[in-house]
Structures are given as C-alpha cells and as structure tokens.
Amino acid sequence: MSTHTELLEQLRAAVGTANVLTDGNLSAYEQDWRKRERGKSLAVVRPANTAAVAAVVRACAAAGVSIVPQGGNTGMVVGSTPDASGTQVVLSLQRMNQVRALDAANLTVTVDAGCVLQVIQETCEKTGFLFPLSMASEGSCTIGGNLGTNAGGTQVVRYGNARELCLGLEVVTPQGEIWDGLSGLRKDNTGYDLRHLMIGSEGTLGVITGAIMKLYPLPATQLTVFAAVPSLEAAVQLLGLAHQHLSAGLTGFEVMGKFALSLVSKHFAQTRVPLQDRADTPYYVVLENSDQESEAHARERFERLLEVAMERGCVLDAVVAESINQARALWHIRESIPLAQAQEGLNIKHDISIAVSRIPEFVLLTDALLVQAFPGARLVNYGHLGDGNLHYNVQAPAGADAEAFLRDDEKSVNTIVYDMVDRFNGSISAEHGVGSLKREKLAQHKSPVALGMMRAIKQALDPQNTMNPGRVLQH
C-alpha cells in the first residue's frame, strides 16, 4: 500500500471518511479568492476538534506530507491553497467554528480557530460586548486566518490589528503536539512570547486551533461621515483634525479614490455613492467616531470637527449618517471596492504602509511613474489611511486583456511600486501577509539579518518544512 493510501486511511480514522475529501469539485479549497492560482490537493481534511487536528498533523508528519492550514480562504496572497503537485493536505478549520466561552469580567472571548469573524462579532454583541476586528471579508474569514495573517481591517486606528486583540492561542505544532496558551492573562512575562510568534506566521509554524481575544464595551454613540476632499493632502489634514477633535473616539478613517468609487457605481448600480458629481474631488473619506458619551455631546464634537475642516478647506462637502442604517450604507460603499475590483477583472494589488505624513508625496511620485510606464493603466487607490495603509492597486487599461497585463507587466509594476515603498521606508505588506505571491519580494526587501532570524525560527519549529512550505520564506 503506498504511503499516500496508508495516510488517507489514517486521516479517515482521525476525522471520519466524510471529512476527507479527495474528489469532486474542490475549487472552494483549491482556488484562491483572487483567482490567481489553482492548486490540487492530495486531500482536504476537516477535523472537528483540536485532538483530531493533532492526529492529522502527526499522521502527515510521519508520512512527510505537507499541510496547508485553511480558514475562510479569503486571503489575498495565495497562502491558504495547495500547490499544483497533488501531494499536500489542506487542513480546513471550518468545522471548528464555535464560540467556546465569554468572560464578561475578564473582557475576553474564547473561540475555535474556524469561527467566522462575523459570528464572533454578533455573538459578542448579543451579550453587550464589542469584538472590534472588522473587514469586508468578515462574513467568510475565520479568526484563525485573521491571526494567521495578523489581519487589520477598518477599525485598526482605534483597536489595533488581530495581534493587538489576541491574549492567547491554542496551537498544534508541526510535530502534532498541542500547546495550550489560552490563559487570557493580560500580563504574563514567562519567556518568549509564543503567541506573537504564531500570529502572522501564515500557517508556517503551526496550526492555530483556538484563541482568546479581547472584548470592549459596546459604544453608546456612533457617528459616521462620508466626506468629499480636494486632495490626499487634505485627507491627511482631516485625519490630524479628527485625532485632535475626537481623540480616542476616532474609530475608522478610510480614504477612497474617485476611480475606485466609480467601479462600485459601475458594478453595483443599486449602491448609491454620494457626492460623485463633484469635479473637484479626487478623493473621499469615510470617518467614524464612537464612544460612551451622550449622543448630544458626541454630535456636538463631530459637527465642530466638520465645521473646522470646512473652514480650513480640507472638506468640500459631507454626508453625515442620520441613522445606524445610513452609517452601514456608507461603510458598505467602502467595503464594496474590493468586490467591484474583482468584478472589473484580475488586478495587481499593493497592500502597502507608509508614514501617514508621506503618503501624498508617495502617491504623487508613484502615480506619475505608473501612468508614464503603462499608459491607460487604471489606478485604484483606497484603504486604511488612518493606519498609513493603502491598497494601491493597478487595473489593466479599459478593454485590455487583464490576464496578459498581469503576465506581461505585473513584475515591472511591482518594481516601480515597491522600490518607491523602500524609498519611503514603508512596508510591502501592511496587513495581507506574504503567502507565496510576495515571497520573492520579501526576500528582496527584508534585511538579510531579519530573513536569517526568520529562517532559524522556521528551521527550529518545522525542520521537516511540512507546515505550509513555500509561504512567507523560500524553501
């Protein structure tokens, strides 16, 4: 019997025959969300609990078969799908999807890794708490993937990213041992912080099976505005005023280029985008304030901010949401941009971070280089300006063959953008991680000392290189 046949038998014994998928349409597990690469797995395995995950990992380790941990498969850098060899096991956490416990006094919630982000948000809200990690993929992404990629989203400016919201992990190591780090302590200085080593490791150092996350009180008031601004400089100025006037209440600050919004109007006609007819506004901002003070006080501060911003000319016009539904509609516009881009076709993504103060200059210089080098290419610029994180994406010229554009031009587009990111001391991946898509770029842009330390950690924890090989680091 071949090792693969033997292994498949062991996997069926570990998780049940129905949860070892080897044929039929497995594209949900083998095709990445951006449709950049289609892999082929030896099997997709869906364990129901941590002990079963450990049994799967042990069996694969003994057979020398690689594992690709997978949550919602919404990742942007081809990190959660198998390669084309047909020899890797996709370990899907989707059956481990329960909220395990909520501790009101400790302000923590303990969840299975396969728990969908939106389910965690809604479960906590029902019990009067806020779990603040939020992004457009929250209906399908899982907390395990959020921690695997150290995801950011639209409330980082107030609450931080997945890393800052995590107090502990349960992990199955590449050798199939279970590390229970679910203490939920806010202070614990006993040796290396293994939790932070695992967060952002993109499934290359172990399988996260559980997590304990911070909770916050639900805000008493939420105020949201959709503003038309005359330039990126004005958007940065508005951010400064928002920090000044709203202080800790500033919860979200997103910038959207006019062309990015035009894709939303084009592909989602039912989504009304306000203030689009202004010829003098290349950029728009969605800004949110939320806190515990009374509606009257919060509104007074919010309106004062907008007054000063208009006096200073950094806001030309604005729509303030008059209800929670209107606020949701304004956020829905912002969150529709990546979906509209996908409808428009294959595109080149740059998830970059630069010091906020330098973003306007970065965009001015890089736009000019790209427009000159690739006439007709369309720049879809938007993102989390509050954290200095832009989704500086490039779409093929209108009517052009997008596949050919990526095949022929992606490398040189990336070189222009990432060389400029280096010049501005930025990061080539602010929140999506490296996966396999940016592995070469990481090798070029990260310092040799940093890469050496990462390789030493990978060698120490996964010497067989069976945990998501070829992601983050080259073989």
Give contact residues for ligand S2G (rule: CB under 6 A): 76, 136, 338, 341, 349, 351, 383, 391, 393
Q: Between residues 219 and 338, which has the closer beta carbon with respect to ligand S2G?
A: 338
Q: From the list ligand S2G, ligand FAD, none, which binds 93 (C-beta under 5 to 8 Å, kind-based)?
A: ligand FAD
- Mark 408-437 with x for binding to ligand FAD (rule: CB under 6 A) and - for no binding: -----------------------xx--x--
The side-by-side arrangement of strands in the sheet containing 166-172 is: 99-103, 108-112, 207-214, 166-172, 178-181
Is residue 146 within the footprint of ligand FAD (CB under 6 A)? Answer: yes
Which of ligand S2G, ligand FAD, none binds 341 (CB below 5-8 Å, type-dependent)? ligand S2G
Tell me the sheet residues that pair with 254: 286
Which of 45, 93, 318, 420 binds ligand FAD (CB under 6 A)? It is 93
Could you give the angle at which helices 359-373 and 402-423 cross, rounded to 10 degrees?
Answer: 140
To ligand S2G, the closest distance from the beta carbon of 430 in angstroms equals 9
50 is a site residue for ligand FAD (CB under 6 A): no
| Residue 471 burial by Cβ neighbours in a 10 Å radius (0-12, 13-18, 19+) | buried
Please, what is the minimum distance in Å from the beta carbon of residue 75 to ligand FAD?
Answer: 3
**Which CB, 432 or 458, lies closer to ligand FAD?**
432
**Toward ligand FAD, which CB reaches closer, 388 or 435?**
435
Q: Is the dihedral of CA 437, 134, 97, 206 positive or negative?
A: positive
* Nearest residue (CB) to ligand FAD, 33 versus 418: 33
Distance CA(368)–CA(361), nearest Å, equals 11
- Closest approach, Cβ 79 to ligand FAD, in A, equals 3
Residue 113 contacts which entry, ligand FAD, ligand S2G, none (Cβ below 5-8 A, type-dependent) = ligand FAD
The footprint of ligand FAD on residues 313-352 (CB under 6 A) is: 338-339
Which option in ligand S2G, ligand FAD, none does residue 151 bind, with CB closer than 5 to 8 A by kind?
ligand FAD
Site for ligand FAD in 96-135 (CB under 6 A): 113, 135
Which residues have CB under 8 Å from 75's CB, separation 6+?
32, 33, 145, 149, 432, 433, 435
- Among 14-22, 142-150, 176-184, 361-369, which window interacts with ligand FAD (CB under 6 A)? 142-150
Question: CB count, 10 Å around CB of 9?
Answer: 14
The residue with its CB nearest to ligand FAD is 145
Quote helix, strand, coil % in the chain, to nearest 5: 40, 20, 35
Which does residue 7 touch among ligand S2G, ligand FAD, none (CB within 5 to 8 A, set by kind)? none
Verify binding: residue 70, ligand FAD, rule CB under 6 A.
yes
Among 39, 47, 144, 249, binds ligand FAD (CB under 6 A): 144
Residue with tokens 């993109």: 202
Tokens of 238: 């508005």
Q: How far apart are CA 85 and CA 388, in angstroms?
A: 38
**Environment class of residue 26 by beta-carbon count within 10 Å: exposed (0-12), middle (13-18) or buried (19+)?**
middle
Of 75, 82, 168, 257, the one binding ligand FAD (CB under 6 A) is 75
Q: Are 292 and 197 in contact (CB under 8 A)?
A: no
Contact between 382 and ligand FAD by CB under 6 A: the answer reads no
Alpha-carbon Rg for the chain, nearest whole angstrom, is 23
For ligand S2G, the closer CB: 10 or 262:
262
**Which of 69, 219 has the CB closer to ligand FAD?**
69
Residue 395 contact among ligand FAD, ligand S2G, none, beta carbon within 5 to 8 Å by kind: none
Tokens 């209107």 identify what position?
A: 326
Residue pair 117/138 in contact by the 8 Å Cβ criterion: yes
Residues 391 and 429 sit within 8 Å (Cβ to Cβ): no
- Does 142 engage in binding with ligand FAD (CB under 6 A)? yes
Quick one: what does residue 391 bind among ligand S2G, ligand FAD, none, with the CB cut-off 5 to 8 Å set by partner type?
ligand S2G
348/394 Cα distance (integer angstroms): 5
**Residue 331: in which H helix or E strand, if any?**
helix 324-335
* CB proximity list for 333: less than 8 A, separation 6 or greater: 226, 256, 261, 264, 271, 273, 286
Per CB under 6 A, the list member of 82, 132, 148, 257 interacting with ligand FAD is 148
Site for ligand FAD, rule CB under 6 A = 33, 68-76, 79-80, 93, 113, 135-137, 141-142, 144-146, 148-149, 151-153, 202-203, 207-208, 338-339, 431-432, 435, 468, 471
